[in-house]
Amino acid sequence: MRMDADELIETFEFLGDWEERYRYLIELGRELPPLAPEAHVDANKVRGCMSQVWLTHTVQPGPPVTLEFQGDSDAHIVKGLIALLFKLLSGKTPQQILETDVNGVFERLGLESHISMNRRNGFYAMVERIRHMAADPAFAAR
């Protein structure tokens, strides 16, 4: 299920304390569809993450053309962060993805001060990878 930024923030606020929010993130990660074994390759690996993270996408023909993301990680919290990103960005057009202020949403969720610096850096590396996918010049022609 996709959510916009306000829905995600509302859900986090409803959960209350950070122990519940971490559990929610872990549960989101468990709900991710499995990434095909053949997608666990170096080309799909996200650099800048301490954990192992793989991201890939499929293009859904339009109009308008949208992107669907798939991913996996070997760390539960990171897998939850991946799921959170997908809820926010999957199913959007490349332009909508590029216009989404993911960093602002991350801060509004309170994640900036509640996850480690290494996980924050990894999260931002995932965001950059997704933005890179959305910025593919091939989409400008569609």
Question: Which residues are designated catalytic?
Answer: 49
Q: How far apart are CA 47 and CA 53, in angstroms?
A: 8
E strand spans, 90-130: none
Q: Is 16 left (phi over 0), alpha (psi -120 to 50) or beta?
A: left
CA–chain centroid gap for 58, Å, is 14
Q: For the chain, what percentages of helix, strand and coil (3-state, to nearest 5) are there?
A: 60, 15, 30
Question: Residue 35 is encoded by which pair of tokens?
Answer: 């990434």
111: tokens are 């994640």
